Amino acid sequence: MPVGTLGSVKGVHLREIKDDIQAQIILGNTYHLYLRPGLDVLEKAGGLHKFNGFDRPMLTDSGGFQVFSLTGIRKLSDEGCEFRSHIDGSKHFFTPEKVMDIERTIGADIMMAFDECPPGTADYGYARKSLTLTHNWLRRCIKRFNETEPKYGYGQTLFPIVQGCVYKDLRQESAKFMKDFGAEGYAIGGLAVGEPAEVMYEMIEVVNDILPQDRPRYLMGVGTPVNILEGIERGVDMFDCVMPTRNGRNAMLFTSEGIMNLRNAKWANDFSPVDPAGHSFVDTQYSRAYLHHLFKAKELLAMQIASIHNLAFYLWLVREARKHILQNDFVVWKNQMVEKLSRRL
């Protein structure tokens, strides 16, 4: 899912998201949309779909990750979380009930439960306390969700978020707790927040051994192309990450043969397509030399082309993964791709 934090995928037109990149769903951010443009504007517009013109599904996270990353300007309690806006310092209070109401107003097709995302380095005591809080908040989220109705004439669904930091027993406990709610899909949160990749993969395996195989499983905020392929092998169905656009804006391009830094002088006279395998993930066969020139000249077009390329590459990669799953040769293909995708060109 391309990340559209403020109702837009940075530097990319929605028509490009739909027609060139062919994304079926994008992500919005509850915390940021709540602060700006605000719920009054979104409700008057008829929800985020009408506001930004995206007529395909959208998912909103709960804002938990953003709120809990505001170290020093938030206070956590059993009731909820008080925080100050990063924009103007104004004080706000998120409860599970309020977050459900906010996501109803945004109009996301998939709403995420309000949870606490502990740091990857959290000790066991903190992780245990945090998990208890997340589970208590989930009960309140589900109660509020069931008490309210969608606002804009179409259905919405709620995904619980499995937490538990890097502790196997907590992850198992959380997955079992979430499974009992019979949700239409499940998220795996609190990973890729500082722990080693191998630990992340182990936690995915622990959780997916428990979560239903016939429901989508969403790994939140992950990750590199290699992370995504490793996640798919372990049973993950959905991903989101800012990396394609954020790295693209900084001249890092992902290709089917490895990773490129387009600011490097070695590309100045290379007139071949960006992707070494001949794939064109943008409308025109922009050469490496041309993109190198645009980045060196600090042209805004460089960031736009790179963002579109990276997003299209990510979508190509997961479509290829699906194809190879259906062909029953995913593992062979995945191992070959991991080797290629880890290279620095």
**Active site residues per annotation:** 61, 240
Q: Cα(65)–Cα(70) distance, rounded to whole angstroms? A: 9
Q: Cα(277)–Cα(265) distance, rounded to whole angstroms? A: 21
Structure tokens at 29: 């951010």
The CB-based long-range contact list for 260-267 (8 Å cut-off, 24+ gap) reads: 260/288, 260/345, 261/344, 262/288, 262/291, 262/292, 262/295, 262/302, 262/306, 263/292, 263/295, 263/296, 264/292, 267/291, 267/292
